[in-house]
Amino acid sequence: MVKHCIAILSLMAFMLSSLLFIPGVSLFAHEAAHSRIARLTHEMEKTPTDATLYLQRGDAYQQHSLWEKALADFQRVAELKPDYKLIAYRRGRLFYSSGRYEQAEKELNDYLSNAYDNVPGLILRARVLRKLNKIDRSHANYTRAISKSTKIDASLYIERAELLIEGGDCYLDLALYGLNEGVRKLGPLISFELASIDINIKQENYAAAIKRIDNVISRVPRKEKWLVRRAEVLEQAGRYSEARIAYMSALDAIEVLPVHQSRTPALALLKQHAEVKVKKLH
């Protein structure tokens, strides 16, 4: 029994020590915030001019919304390392996270004056300007970030489109143009189609919306949600008999699904919605 226990303890010790040599695994990954801050503070007492420690503690403060303490540590980094230009980006990110958008814009302007094509900086400034309702400038920053990105991110195209939709009807054509650019670069992603359909509907261009939905229906294995969406657009367009047929098609698609798929709460609601519409449009 004793030998068995010793063997288990030895195995556990080996497994624990092995973690030290696995890339990306940290024994402090789940360290409590106050413990990490206390540890960094203790280390600062030994090396009070180590800017890296202030930077790490500032990040820890920011992660837990201790904005002023984080800002004080970032200011100390700027004093200790005057050539560390990235501190302006970090302050901009802090101000953005804490809702101080004017200050965030100022910091990011300062940072990007020396790093004009920095993609994270451009994206963050685009988001800040969106919060400030500066549509044209935000759009320009999103567009530059997309053009300078080495890895194209579909979410940036969606964010840019959402910005323009918020800007009002006068920006809708530009939003569609940007989404079509995303399609040319990344293909007809469902996220692009959804955003484009919403824009078509806002423009009351129901024919274009239906064409896009039909394109998606031809590509996806599960069609019931898209058939309901098609029916809703037809109903909005005043094409009620066609809408009823589309709702019925959605019900048929639901009917042939396996039991484990057809009995989910979401699908039950979709089915109920389609059934009510069929009766209403009779």
Is residue 149 one of the residues assigned to a domain? no
Cβ proximity of 142 and 149 under 8 Å: no
Q: For the whole model, what pTM was predicted?
A: 0.81
Give the number of other Cβ atoms within 10 Å of residue 153's Cβ.
15
- Domain-embedded: residue 234: yes
Instruction: Give the amino acid at 85.
Output: K
Confirm whether 206 is domain-assigned. Answer: no
Token code pair at residue 36: 């990490």
Nearest to 226 by CA among 239, 236, 213: 213
Rounded CA Rg of the chain:
27
Q: What would the pLDDT profile of 124-139 be if each residue is shown by its tens digit? A: 999 999 999 999 999 9
Number of domains in the chain: 1
Q: Is residue 192 part of a domain?
A: no
How many Å apart are CA 46 and CA 173, to the nearest integer?
60
Q: What is the pLDDT of residues 10-54, one digit of tens each?
A: 334 333 333 333 333 343 434 576 788 899 889 989 998 999 999
Phi and psi torsions of 100, nearest 5°: -100, 80
Tokens 């973690």 belong to residue: 19
Which residue ranges of the chain lie beneath pLDDT 70? 1-31, 33
Domain membership of residue 245 as a residue range: 224-282
Is position 267 within any domain? yes
Distances (CA, A) of 43 to 33, 124, 190, 255, 278: 16, 32, 50, 65, 70
- DSSP secondary structure, 121-171, as one string: HHHHHHHHHHHTT-HHHHHHHHHHHHHH-SS--HHHHHHHHHHHHHH-GGG
Query: Do the domain assignments include residue 258?
Result: yes
Residue 255 belongs to a domain:
yes
Let me know if residue 239 belongs to a domain: yes
